[in-house]
């Protein structure tokens, strides 16, 4: 069996290297061909485009120019106002931040970085708090999946998709380079200098390099109610020291012939502040991360409408976790994990008719995890995804459907491996425009998807090999209405979206306490019914004498109840950490180069255990942020100075029980383009 794994690893490594080299060389081969081009006269547009809300699946987007308005420091901050999003935040500058969309859990969200998924086979949760915004152009959340069908198969293989698009160079021969220098600092002892360098090498080749250093002591005042710690204390062991370097090389022969090569390195050392229970805030746990990946992508669209998309990725993630206070014979925990993955993806799409497109995508991934744990399985997972998709337009109707096949096979060095799985997952989507001349759209979709158990759920501390854990299945139903209109009055535009949805989760994977508190029992126990409503409103005024106003309001209602066992004490009760009502509001006023923005998030109470008893209640909260942004020139160089005050009214609150969130804090930043 080990020889089989060795040969498979060796073969996929060679295939990865071959496709990487092929995708690198393909632009040179293609550049030998001649294209006819025609220069068009520049047309200036004096109005802002309407927000994109009309799609086959619900879509929410935020771009780089709005990050400051939202007081966003990382990706988790940037999307916290989205409808249907529930951020699980353990507090602090370096605290873990995961996202659950429509109460399905963080494991059902795929995070794409320039079209390629950030994968964590160990625990299935991506920490969005460590994803910096300095090199991000836009962030888009798709419920269900993106509306395009020429995509990697992994884009179809999750309940929701968060797509992060980085900044691409946009330079000219007259200005062949651009350097962005910036620094952020403020509360928690934060110091965060960053650098971005864009360079045009020729009319087809360019590159961009981003780097930053982030250091903070993580100390802040807090007060926790109900845990015996009613006096003000200082949060400790929340320090962070992180560095990231990110570089990308781009080839663009035309909009239909593109190539990119991306390299990313991340290194961090952080303390993990523990739960504050009965005056005991002490925690000495620490976490080290050292992650590196290289990915490449090639895209070609021929005049015949044949569309080719190739992606490759090699990644290695190293994690070290220590807890000197853990009571065992070794004098504490000192665990090391080393996860690597080879990933290959190829997609072809073709227009059979002008209104009918079909596509086929196949992805191959080989993932392995080593750990310094007693009797560990050392698992290796082979995943093959195949997707056949179709997109058809018929007058006012648009239909899309796809069938995903997932094949998963695993090997272990110790014990027994999980059984091989072969699963088919269908998706159907449709939109209808009832009126001509009106941007009113009715949409609906059905998606059947699943979440495979993570390595931790399947093998962690498993004495006899794999646990018999089944995949967690989710059936998603959505129906909604979108409307948008450009106005010729005080208001420039208005967009409105309302979606009602029902999710049914079976074989839910849950952790139950065991005799040994360090080893939970992982079982398939649950059936959860989730009923909800997402609603969003956006509007903005026209510009008058330099003044302009914007307003965005999102509302979420979620009734997520456990319907596993009618005889249990928590039957038909709300699942943990799921508020029923959430409202996010963002409004701002611009006057020439000055902008003032206000952001408010209101969340109702929720429960931290399955039994909805008063003693298990976690209070709701209302948190306000304010931002002041000033754009000016230093000589002839554009510069931006901003000040953010988060938790303006010093709200005392928690998102996760016993993990207090920071009170009022200040962030100052300055950046200049050269």
Q: How much is the pLDDT for 84? A: 96
* Per-residue pLDDT at 561 exceeds 50: yes
CB 575 within 8 A of CB 558: no
**% of the chain surpassing 70 pLDDT:** 89
Q: How far is CA 250 from CA 159, 173, 258, in A?
A: 31, 16, 8
Q: How much is the pLDDT for 633? A: 96
- Total domains, the chain: 1
CA angle 68–72–78, rounded 5-degree value: 110
432 φ/ψ sector (left φ>0, alpha ψ -120 to 50, else beta): beta
Q: What is the dihedral of CA 70, 124, 267, 165, to 10 degrees?
A: -50
Q: Quick: pLDDT tens for 505-522.
A: 999 887 765 444 445 567
Average pLDDT over residues 266-293: 87
What SS3 class is residue 95?
A: coil
* Per-residue pLDDT at 43 exceeds 50: no
* Per-residue pLDDT at 375 exceeds 90: no
How many whole angstroms separate alpha carbon 502 and alpha carbon 343? Answer: 33
Q: Quick: pLDDT tens for 448-506.
A: 999 999 998 888 765 555 678 899 999 999 999 999 999 988 999 999 999 999 999 99
CA end-to-end span of the chain: 57
Residue 454: name the closest of 522, 518, 503, 505 by CA: 522
How many whole angstroms separate alpha carbon 113 and alpha carbon 166? Answer: 8
CATH of the domain at 433: 2.40.170.20
Q: How much is the pLDDT for 250? A: 97
Number of H helices, E strands in the chain: 3, 36
pTM for this model (two decimals):
0.91
Alpha carbon 330 to its chain's center? 37
How many whole angstroms separate alpha carbon 21 and alpha carbon 361? Answer: 20
Lowest mean pLDDT among 113-117, 228-232, 553-557: 228-232
Q: Quick: pLDDT tens for 607-651.
A: 998 899 999 999 999 999 999 999 999 999 999 999 999 999 999
Average pLDDT over residues 113-129: 92
Q: How much is the pLDDT for 64? A: 94
**% of the chain surpassing 90 pLDDT:** 73
In a domain, 297, yes or no: yes
In a domain, 51, yes or no: no
In a domain, 48, yes or no: no
Is residue 197 classed exposed, middle or buried when 0-12, 13-18 and 19+ CB atoms within 10 A define those classes?
middle
Q: Please give the helix or strand (H or E) that residue 223 lies within, else none.
A: none
- For the chain, what is the radius of gyration of the CA atoms? 25
Lowest mean pLDDT among 9-18, 174-183, 488-497, 511-520: 9-18
* Pair of tokens at residue 265: 């390195």
Lowest mean pLDDT among 18-32, 168-182, 564-578, 660-674: 18-32
* Per-residue pLDDT at 231 exceeds 80: no
In a domain, 38, yes or no: no
Per-residue pLDDT band for 14 (boundaries 50, 70, 90) equals very low
Query: Can you say whether the dihedral through the CA atoms of 199, 267, 93, 578 is positive or negative?
Result: positive
Q: How much is the pLDDT for 512? A: 60
Residue 389: name the closest of 440, 425, 433 by CA: 425
Q: How much is the pLDDT for 516? A: 44
Q: Quick: pLDDT tens for 387-397.
A: 999 999 999 99
* Per-residue pLDDT at 77 exceeds 90: yes
In a domain, 411, yes or no: yes
Q: How much is the pLDDT for 226? A: 53
Q: How far is CA 23 from CA 309, 312, 344, 348, 491, in A?
A: 10, 9, 11, 15, 48
Q: How much is the pLDDT for 266? A: 97
The DSSP output letter for 224 is: -
Average pLDDT over residues 408-436: 94
Q: How much is the pLDDT for 94? A: 73
Q: How much is the pLDDT for 325? A: 87
In a domain, 31, yes or no: no
In sequence order, what are the residues at sequence separation of 6 or more whose Cβ sits closer than 8 angstroms to the Cβ of residue 165? 114, 136, 137, 138, 139, 140
Q: Quick: pLDDT tens for 323-365.
A: 998 888 888 889 999 999 999 999 999 999 999 999 999 999 9
Residue 493 structural domain: 2-26+56-673
Average pLDDT over residues 206-230: 82
Mean pLDDT score across all residues of the chain? 89
Alpha carbon 65 to its chain's center? 19
* Per-residue pLDDT at 145 exceeds 70: yes
In a domain, 324, yes or no: yes
Q: Where are the beta strands (DSSP E) in 515-636?
A: 521-541, 547-562, 573-574, 581-591, 594-603, 606-607, 617-618, 621-634
Which strands, in side-by-side order, build the sheet including 109-113?
59-63, 136-143, 160-166, 109-113, 116-117
In a domain, 45, yes or no: no
In sequence order, what are the residues at sequence separation of 6 or more whose Cβ sits closer than 8 angstroms to the Cβ of residue 604? 579, 580, 581, 582, 620
* Per-residue pLDDT at 12 exceeds 90: no
């Amino acid at each position: 069996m080990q020889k089989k794994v060795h040969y498979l690893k060796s073969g996929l490594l060679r295939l990865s290297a071959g496709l990487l080299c092929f995708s690198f060389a393909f632009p040179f081969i293609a550049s030998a061909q001649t294209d006819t081009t025609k220069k068009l006269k520049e047309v200036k547009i004096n109005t802002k485009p309407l927000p994109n809300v009309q799609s086959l699946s619900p879509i929410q987007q935020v771009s780089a120019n709005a990050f400051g308005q939202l007081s966003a420091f990382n990706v988790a901050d940037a999307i916290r106002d989205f409808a249907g999003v529930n951020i699980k935040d353990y507090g602090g500058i370096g605290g873990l931040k995961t996202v659950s969309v429509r109460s399905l859990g963080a494991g059902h969200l795929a995070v794409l970085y320039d079209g390629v998924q950030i994968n964590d086979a160990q625990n299935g949760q991506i920490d969005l708090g460590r994803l910096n915004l300095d090199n991000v152009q836009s962030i888009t959340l798709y419920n269900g999946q993106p509306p395009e069908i020429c995509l990697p198969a992994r884009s179809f293989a999750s309940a929701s998709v968060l797509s992060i698009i980085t900044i691409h160079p946009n330079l000219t021969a007259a200005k062949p380079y651009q350097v962005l220098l910036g620094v952020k600092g403020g509360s928690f002892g934060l110091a965060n200098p960053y650098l971005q360098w864009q360079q045009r090498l020729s009319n087809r080749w360019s590159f961009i390099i981003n780097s930053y250093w982030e250091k903070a002591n993580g100390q802040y005042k807090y007060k926790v109610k109900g845990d015996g710690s009613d006096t003000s204390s200082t949060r400790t062991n929340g320090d962070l020291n992180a560095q990231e370097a990110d570089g990308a090389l781009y080839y663009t022969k035309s909009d239909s012939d593109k190539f990119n090569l991306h390299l990313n390195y991340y290194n961090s050392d952080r303390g993990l502040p523990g739960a504050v229970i009965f005056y005991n805030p002490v925690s000495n746990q620490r976490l080290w991360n050292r992650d590196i990946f290289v990915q490449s992508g090639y895209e070609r669209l021929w005049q015949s409408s044949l569309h080719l998309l190739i992606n490759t990725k090699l990644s290695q993630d190293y994690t070290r976790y220590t807890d000197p206070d853990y009571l065992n014979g070794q004098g504490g925990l000192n665990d090391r994990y080393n996860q690597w993955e080879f990933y290959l993806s190829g997609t072809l799409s073709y227009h059979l008719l002008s209104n009918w497109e079909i596509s086929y995508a196949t992805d191959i991934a080989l993932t392995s995890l080593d750990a310094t744990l007693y009797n560990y399985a050392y698992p290796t997972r082979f995943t093959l995804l195949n997707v056949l998709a179709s997109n058809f337009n018929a007058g006012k109707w648009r239909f899309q459907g796809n069938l995903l096949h997932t094949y998963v096979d695993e090997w272990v060095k110790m014990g027994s491996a999980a059984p091989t799985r072969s699963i088919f997952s269908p998706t159907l989507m449709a939109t209808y425009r009832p009126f001509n001349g009106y941007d009113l759209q009715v949409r609906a979709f059905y998606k059947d998807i699943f979440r495979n158990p993570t390595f931790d759920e399947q093998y962690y501390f498993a004495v006899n090999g794999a646990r018999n854990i089944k995949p967690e299945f989710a059936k998603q139903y959505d129906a909604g209405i979108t409307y948008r209109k450009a106005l010729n009055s005080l208001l420039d535009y208005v967009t409105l979206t309302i979606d009602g949805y029902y999710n049914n989760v079976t074989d839910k994977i849950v952790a139950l306490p065991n005799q040994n508190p360090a080893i939970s029992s992982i079982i398939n126990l649950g059936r959860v019914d989730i009923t909800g409503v997402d609603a969003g409103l956006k509007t903005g005024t026209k510009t008058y004498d330099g003044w302009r106003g914007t307003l965005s309001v999102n509302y979420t209602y979620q009734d997520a109840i456990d319907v596993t066992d009618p005889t249990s004490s928590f039957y038909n009760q709300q699942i943990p950490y799921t508020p029923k009502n959430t409202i996010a509001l963002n409004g701002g006023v611009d006057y020439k180069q000055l902008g003032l923005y206000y952001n408010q998030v209101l969340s109702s109470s929720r429960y931290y255990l399955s039994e909805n008893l008063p003693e298990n209640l976690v209070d709701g909260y209302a948190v306000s942020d304010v931002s002041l942004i000033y754009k000016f020139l230093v000589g002839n160089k554009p510069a931006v100075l901003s000040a953010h005050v988060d938790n303006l009214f010093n709200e005392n609150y928690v998102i996760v029980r016993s993990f207090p969130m920071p009170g009022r804090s200040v962030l100052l930043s300055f950046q200049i383009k050269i």
